[in-house]
Protein backbone atom coordinates (compact mmCIF):
# COMPACT_ATOMS: atom_id res chain seq x y z
CA UNK A 1 0.00 0.00 0.00
CA UNK A 2 2.85 2.39 0.88
CA UNK A 3 4.47 1.59 -2.46
CA UNK A 4 1.28 2.35 -4.38
CA UNK A 5 0.79 5.68 -2.61
CA UNK A 6 4.45 6.54 -3.32
CA UNK A 7 3.90 5.78 -7.04
CA UNK A 8 6.37 2.87 -7.14
CA UNK A 9 5.92 0.94 -10.38
CA UNK A 10 6.80 -2.42 -8.83
CA UNK A 11 4.19 -2.09 -6.07
CA UNK A 12 1.56 -0.90 -8.56
CA UNK A 13 2.25 -3.86 -10.87
CA UNK A 14 2.12 -6.40 -8.03
CA UNK A 15 -1.13 -4.94 -6.69
CA UNK A 16 -2.78 -5.09 -10.13
CA UNK A 17 -1.75 -8.74 -10.49
CA UNK A 18 -3.40 -9.52 -7.14
CA UNK A 19 -6.53 -7.65 -8.28
CA UNK A 20 -6.64 -9.61 -11.56
CA UNK A 21 -6.31 -12.92 -9.72
CA UNK A 22 -9.11 -11.82 -7.36
CA UNK A 23 -7.41 -13.31 -4.31
CA UNK A 24 -8.24 -12.62 -0.68
CA UNK A 25 -5.86 -9.66 -0.54
CA UNK A 26 -7.53 -7.92 -3.51
CA UNK A 27 -10.39 -6.43 -1.50
CA UNK A 28 -8.03 -5.46 1.34
CA UNK A 29 -5.87 -3.48 -1.10
CA UNK A 30 -8.89 -1.62 -2.53
CA UNK A 31 -10.29 -0.88 0.94
CA UNK A 32 -6.91 0.54 2.04
CA UNK A 33 -6.37 2.80 -0.99
CA UNK A 34 -9.98 3.91 -1.53
CA UNK A 35 -9.68 7.10 0.60
CA UNK A 36 -6.78 8.21 -1.65
CA UNK A 37 -8.75 7.90 -4.92
CA UNK A 38 -10.91 10.37 -6.81
CA UNK A 39 -8.19 12.79 -7.91
CA UNK A 40 -7.28 11.45 -11.37
CA UNK A 41 -9.20 12.39 -14.51
CA UNK A 42 -10.30 9.26 -16.36
CA UNK A 43 -10.59 9.16 -20.14
CA UNK A 44 -12.26 6.22 -21.85
CA UNK A 45 -11.30 5.51 -25.46
CA UNK A 46 -13.44 3.08 -27.41
CA UNK A 47 -14.42 2.22 -30.96
CA UNK A 48 -14.10 -0.52 -33.57
CA UNK A 49 -10.91 -2.54 -33.95
CA UNK A 50 -8.51 -1.05 -36.50
CA UNK A 51 -9.61 2.55 -36.01
CA UNK A 52 -6.18 3.45 -34.58
CA UNK A 53 -7.03 3.86 -30.90
CA UNK A 54 -3.63 2.72 -29.59
CA UNK A 55 -1.63 5.00 -31.90
CA UNK A 56 -3.87 7.91 -30.94
CA UNK A 57 -3.38 7.17 -27.24
CA UNK A 58 0.40 7.20 -27.72
CA UNK A 59 0.23 10.70 -29.21
CA UNK A 60 -2.16 11.95 -26.48
CA UNK A 61 0.12 10.63 -23.73
CA UNK A 62 3.22 12.22 -25.27
CA UNK A 63 1.45 15.57 -25.36
CA UNK A 64 0.25 15.24 -21.75
CA UNK A 65 3.78 14.34 -20.65
CA UNK A 66 5.13 17.38 -22.47
CA UNK A 67 2.95 19.50 -20.14
CA UNK A 68 4.25 17.63 -17.08
CA UNK A 69 1.20 15.44 -16.41
CA UNK A 70 1.58 11.83 -15.26
CA UNK A 71 -0.48 9.16 -17.02
CA UNK A 72 -1.73 5.65 -16.37
CA UNK A 73 -2.92 3.49 -19.28
CA UNK A 74 -5.16 0.44 -18.98
CA UNK A 75 -5.51 -1.35 -22.33
CA UNK A 76 -8.12 -4.12 -22.32
CA UNK A 77 -7.50 -6.77 -24.95
CA UNK A 78 -9.96 -9.44 -26.06
CA UNK A 79 -9.69 -12.89 -24.49
CA UNK A 80 -9.68 -15.94 -26.74
CA UNK A 81 -12.88 -17.98 -26.18
CA UNK A 82 -10.83 -21.11 -26.88
CA UNK A 83 -7.63 -20.73 -24.85
CA UNK A 84 -8.58 -17.98 -22.39
CA UNK A 85 -5.44 -16.12 -23.44
CA UNK A 86 -5.11 -12.70 -25.01
CA UNK A 87 -2.81 -11.07 -27.50
CA UNK A 88 -1.72 -7.99 -25.59
CA UNK A 89 -0.96 -5.94 -28.68
CA UNK A 90 -1.33 -2.55 -27.05
CA UNK A 91 1.72 -3.09 -24.86
CA UNK A 92 3.78 -3.78 -28.00
CA UNK A 93 2.50 -0.61 -29.70
CA UNK A 94 3.26 1.55 -26.66
CA UNK A 95 6.68 0.12 -25.78
CA UNK A 96 8.46 3.44 -26.13
CA UNK A 97 6.15 5.00 -23.53
CA UNK A 98 6.93 2.34 -20.92
CA UNK A 99 10.47 3.75 -20.43
CA UNK A 100 8.96 7.02 -19.17
CA UNK A 101 8.84 7.14 -15.34
CA UNK A 102 5.71 9.30 -15.52
CA UNK A 103 3.75 6.68 -17.47
CA UNK A 104 2.43 3.32 -16.28
CA UNK A 105 0.98 0.91 -18.86
CA UNK A 106 -0.97 -2.24 -18.10
CA UNK A 107 -2.56 -4.52 -20.69
CA UNK A 108 -5.34 -6.70 -19.38
CA UNK A 109 -7.30 -9.57 -20.87
CA UNK A 110 -11.06 -8.99 -20.87
CA UNK A 111 -11.52 -12.56 -19.54
CA UNK A 112 -14.85 -12.77 -21.35
CA UNK A 113 -16.43 -10.04 -19.25
CA UNK A 114 -19.19 -8.09 -20.97
CA UNK A 115 -18.84 -4.42 -21.76
CA UNK A 116 -15.39 -4.65 -23.33
CA UNK A 117 -13.89 -4.17 -19.87
CA UNK A 118 -12.17 -6.64 -17.61
CA UNK A 119 -13.82 -7.00 -14.21
CA UNK A 120 -10.57 -5.90 -12.62
CA UNK A 121 -10.36 -2.73 -14.73
CA UNK A 122 -12.18 -0.46 -12.27
CA UNK A 123 -9.93 -1.51 -9.41
CA UNK A 124 -6.83 -1.13 -11.58
CA UNK A 125 -7.96 2.44 -12.30
CA UNK A 126 -8.28 2.98 -8.53
CA UNK A 127 -4.73 1.75 -7.93
CA UNK A 128 -3.37 4.12 -10.60
CA UNK A 129 -5.50 6.93 -9.16
CA UNK A 130 -4.15 6.35 -5.64
CA UNK A 131 -0.60 6.23 -7.03
CA UNK A 132 -0.94 9.89 -8.02
CA UNK A 133 -1.50 9.72 -11.78
CA UNK A 134 -3.06 12.92 -13.15
CA UNK A 135 -4.77 11.20 -16.07
CA UNK A 136 -5.83 7.59 -16.56
CA UNK A 137 -6.69 6.37 -20.05
CA UNK A 138 -8.78 3.21 -20.43
CA UNK A 139 -8.86 1.65 -23.90
CA UNK A 140 -11.54 -0.98 -24.42
CA UNK A 141 -12.01 -3.97 -26.66
CA UNK A 142 -13.80 -3.04 -29.89
CA UNK A 143 -16.95 -5.03 -29.18
CA UNK A 144 -19.84 -3.03 -30.58
CA UNK A 145 -22.87 -2.84 -28.30
CA UNK A 146 -20.92 -4.12 -25.30
CA UNK A 147 -18.68 -1.06 -25.31
CA UNK A 148 -21.15 1.02 -23.29
CA UNK A 149 -19.67 -0.30 -20.01
CA UNK A 150 -16.91 2.31 -20.32
CA UNK A 151 -19.39 4.96 -19.10
CA UNK A 152 -19.24 3.41 -15.63
CA UNK A 153 -15.51 4.14 -15.41
CA UNK A 154 -14.63 7.26 -17.41
CA UNK A 155 -15.37 10.95 -16.95
CA UNK A 156 -14.90 11.64 -20.68
CA UNK A 157 -15.64 8.98 -23.29
CA UNK A 158 -13.99 9.30 -26.70
CA UNK A 159 -15.33 7.22 -29.59
CA UNK A 160 -12.71 6.66 -32.31
CA UNK A 161 -13.86 5.78 -35.82
CA UNK A 162 -12.14 5.50 -39.20
CA UNK A 163 -13.60 6.51 -42.58
CA UNK A 164 -14.22 3.98 -45.30
CA UNK A 165 -15.09 1.02 -43.06
CA UNK A 166 -18.68 1.91 -42.24
CA UNK A 167 -17.57 2.66 -38.67
CA UNK A 168 -19.92 5.63 -38.38
CA UNK A 169 -22.89 3.42 -39.31
CA UNK A 170 -21.72 0.77 -36.83
CA UNK A 171 -21.46 3.43 -34.14
CA UNK A 172 -25.02 4.59 -34.77
CA UNK A 173 -26.34 1.02 -34.70
CA UNK A 174 -24.31 -0.07 -31.68
CA UNK A 175 -25.46 2.74 -29.40
CA UNK A 176 -22.04 4.39 -29.21
CA UNK A 177 -23.73 7.67 -30.12
CA UNK A 178 -25.34 7.69 -26.68
CA UNK A 179 -22.12 7.27 -24.70
CA UNK A 180 -19.64 9.40 -26.65
CA UNK A 181 -18.65 12.79 -25.25
CA UNK A 182 -16.18 13.38 -28.08
CA UNK A 183 -16.09 11.68 -31.48
CA UNK A 184 -12.88 11.28 -33.45
CA UNK A 185 -12.58 10.46 -37.14
CA UNK A 186 -9.05 9.06 -37.18
CA UNK A 187 -7.06 8.35 -40.35
CA UNK A 188 -8.62 11.57 -41.65
CA UNK A 189 -6.11 11.74 -44.51
CA UNK A 190 -8.17 9.05 -46.25
CA UNK A 191 -10.91 9.90 -48.70
CA UNK A 192 -14.47 9.97 -47.32
CA UNK A 193 -13.25 11.52 -44.03
CA UNK A 194 -15.37 14.64 -44.57
CA UNK A 195 -18.36 12.48 -45.47
CA UNK A 196 -17.92 10.53 -42.23
CA UNK A 197 -17.86 13.79 -40.24
CA UNK A 198 -21.09 14.97 -41.90
CA UNK A 199 -22.81 11.62 -41.22
CA UNK A 200 -21.78 11.74 -37.57
CA UNK A 201 -22.88 15.33 -37.08
CA UNK A 202 -26.24 14.50 -38.64
CA UNK A 203 -26.69 11.55 -36.28
CA UNK A 204 -25.67 13.65 -33.26
CA UNK A 205 -28.27 16.29 -34.15
CA UNK A 206 -30.96 13.69 -33.35
CA UNK A 207 -29.63 13.38 -29.80
CA UNK A 208 -31.41 16.50 -28.55
CA UNK A 209 -31.70 15.60 -24.83
CA UNK A 210 -28.00 16.20 -24.12
CA UNK A 211 -26.91 19.62 -22.87
CA UNK A 212 -23.31 18.81 -23.91
CA UNK A 213 -22.95 18.79 -27.68
CA UNK A 214 -20.24 16.23 -28.58
CA UNK A 215 -17.69 17.65 -31.03
CA UNK A 216 -16.42 15.65 -34.02
CA UNK A 217 -12.67 15.97 -34.50
CA UNK A 218 -10.50 14.77 -37.37
CA UNK A 219 -7.11 13.27 -36.49
CA UNK A 220 -4.24 11.48 -38.18
CA UNK A 221 -2.71 9.55 -35.29
CA UNK A 222 0.43 8.51 -37.19
CA UNK A 223 1.48 12.15 -37.64
CA UNK A 224 -0.18 13.63 -34.55
CA UNK A 225 -2.43 15.88 -36.62
CA UNK A 226 -5.53 16.97 -34.67
CA UNK A 227 -4.24 15.69 -31.29
CA UNK A 228 -3.96 19.18 -29.77
CA UNK A 229 -7.52 19.94 -30.86
CA UNK A 230 -8.63 16.67 -29.23
CA UNK A 231 -6.89 17.58 -25.96
CA UNK A 232 -8.63 20.97 -26.00
CA UNK A 233 -11.98 19.21 -26.42
CA UNK A 234 -11.15 16.93 -23.45
CA UNK A 235 -10.37 19.99 -21.30
CA UNK A 236 -13.60 21.69 -22.41
CA UNK A 237 -15.61 18.62 -21.42
CA UNK A 238 -13.76 18.46 -18.12
CA UNK A 239 -14.72 22.10 -17.40
CA UNK A 240 -18.31 21.38 -18.43
CA UNK A 241 -18.54 18.51 -15.94
CA UNK A 242 -17.02 20.59 -13.15
CA UNK A 243 -19.44 23.47 -13.67
CA UNK A 244 -22.65 21.60 -14.49
CA UNK A 245 -22.96 17.86 -14.27
CA UNK A 246 -19.98 16.40 -12.40
CA UNK A 247 -21.73 15.60 -9.10
CA UNK A 248 -24.74 14.04 -10.82
CA UNK A 249 -22.57 11.94 -13.12
CA UNK A 250 -20.47 10.85 -10.14
CA UNK A 251 -23.59 9.93 -8.14
CA UNK A 252 -24.89 7.77 -11.01
CA UNK A 253 -21.51 6.04 -11.30
CA UNK A 254 -21.38 5.35 -7.56
CA UNK A 255 -24.96 4.04 -7.58
CA UNK A 256 -24.26 1.72 -10.53
CA UNK A 257 -21.08 0.48 -8.89
CA UNK A 258 -22.79 -0.17 -5.54
CA UNK A 259 -25.59 -2.16 -7.21
CA UNK A 260 -23.02 -4.09 -9.25
CA UNK A 261 -20.98 -4.87 -6.10
CA UNK A 262 -24.09 -6.08 -4.23
CA UNK A 263 -25.13 -8.18 -7.21
CA UNK A 264 -21.65 -9.71 -7.53
CA UNK A 265 -21.39 -10.44 -3.80
CA UNK A 266 -24.82 -12.12 -3.69
CA UNK A 267 -24.01 -14.19 -6.80
CA UNK A 268 -20.62 -15.30 -5.47
CA UNK A 269 -22.12 -16.21 -2.07
CA UNK A 270 -25.00 -18.23 -3.54
CA UNK A 271 -22.73 -20.14 -5.94
CA UNK A 272 -20.23 -20.91 -3.16
CA UNK A 273 -23.06 -22.24 -0.96
CA UNK A 274 -24.44 -24.42 -3.78
CA UNK A 275 -20.99 -25.90 -4.38
CA UNK A 276 -20.43 -26.49 -0.66
CA UNK A 277 -23.82 -28.21 -0.32
CA UNK A 278 -23.11 -30.31 -3.43
CA UNK A 279 -26.27 -29.08 -5.15
CA UNK A 280 -24.73 -27.37 -8.20
CA UNK A 281 -24.01 -30.59 -10.14
CA UNK A 282 -27.49 -31.90 -9.40
CA UNK A 283 -29.10 -28.71 -10.72
CA UNK A 284 -26.94 -28.78 -13.85
CA UNK A 285 -28.00 -32.39 -14.46
CA UNK A 286 -31.71 -31.46 -14.14
CA UNK A 287 -31.32 -28.64 -16.68
CA UNK A 288 -29.42 -30.91 -19.11
CA UNK A 289 -32.21 -33.49 -18.85
CA UNK A 290 -34.79 -30.77 -19.54
CA UNK A 291 -36.51 -31.48 -16.23
CA UNK A 292 -36.51 -27.77 -15.39
CA UNK A 293 -35.30 -24.49 -16.89
CA UNK A 294 -32.44 -22.35 -15.44
CA UNK A 295 -34.70 -19.41 -14.56
CA UNK A 296 -37.11 -21.49 -12.49
CA UNK A 297 -34.17 -22.96 -10.56
CA UNK A 298 -32.71 -19.47 -9.99
CA UNK A 299 -36.06 -18.25 -8.62
CA UNK A 300 -36.39 -21.32 -6.41
CA UNK A 301 -32.87 -20.85 -4.98
CA UNK A 302 -33.51 -17.18 -4.25
CA UNK A 303 -36.83 -17.88 -2.50
CA UNK A 304 -35.16 -20.61 -0.41
CA UNK A 305 -32.27 -18.38 0.65
CA UNK A 306 -34.52 -15.39 1.45
CA UNK A 307 -36.90 -17.54 3.55
CA UNK A 308 -33.89 -18.83 5.55
CA UNK A 309 -32.93 -15.27 6.40
DSSP H helices, the chain, are: 2-5, 9-21, 24-33, 53-66, 89-93, 121-130, 167-174, 176-179, 193-205, 227-240, 246-277, 280-288, 294-308
Question: How does pLDDT run across 167-186, given as a tens digit for each residue?
Answer: 556 555 556 677 889 999 99
Biggest alpha carbon–alpha carbon distance for the chain: 66
By DSSP bridging, strand 71-77 and strand 103-109 are parallel
By residue count, the chain amounts to 309
11-14: long-range contacts, CB 8 A cutoff, minimum separation 24: 12/104, 12/127, 12/128, 12/131, 13/106
The tens place of each residue's pLDDT in the chain, 309 residues long, gives 999 999 999 999 999 999 888 777 888 999 999 999 989 999 999 888 778 888 899 999 999 999 999 999 998 866 544 444 444 555 555 667 777 889 999 988 765 454 446 568 889 999 999 999 999 999 886 554 445 677 778 999 999 988 876 655 655 555 667 788 999 999 888 888 888 888 888 878 776 566 788 999 999 988 999 999 999 999 999 998 887 666 777 787 788 788 888 888 888 888 888 888 888 889 999 899 999 898 898 888 888 877 765
Among candidate residues 74, 213, 115, 216, the one with its CA nearest the CA of residue 158:
216
| Global pTM value | 0.82
Among candidate residues 7, 75, 76, the one with its CA nearest the CA of residue 39:
7
pLDDT at site 115: 43
Confirm if 65 and 71 have CB atoms less than 8 A apart. yes
pLDDT at site 164: 73
Q: How far is CA 61 from the centre of its chain?
A: 17
d(CA 28, CA 37): 15
Among candidate residues 155, 163, 223, the one with its CA nearest the CA of residue 195:
163
Burial code (b: 16+ CB inside 10 Å, e: under 16) for 72-110 equals bbbbbbbbeeeeeebeeebbebbeebeeeebbbbbbbbb
Amino acid sequence: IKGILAGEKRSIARAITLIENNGETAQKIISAIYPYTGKAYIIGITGPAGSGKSTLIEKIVKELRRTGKTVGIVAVDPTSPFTGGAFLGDRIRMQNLSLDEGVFIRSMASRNSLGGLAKATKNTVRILDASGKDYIIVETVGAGQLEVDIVKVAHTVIVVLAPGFGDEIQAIKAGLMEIGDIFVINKADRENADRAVIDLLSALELNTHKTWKPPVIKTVALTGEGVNELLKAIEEHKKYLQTRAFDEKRRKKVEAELLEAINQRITDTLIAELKKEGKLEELIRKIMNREVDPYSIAEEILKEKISKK
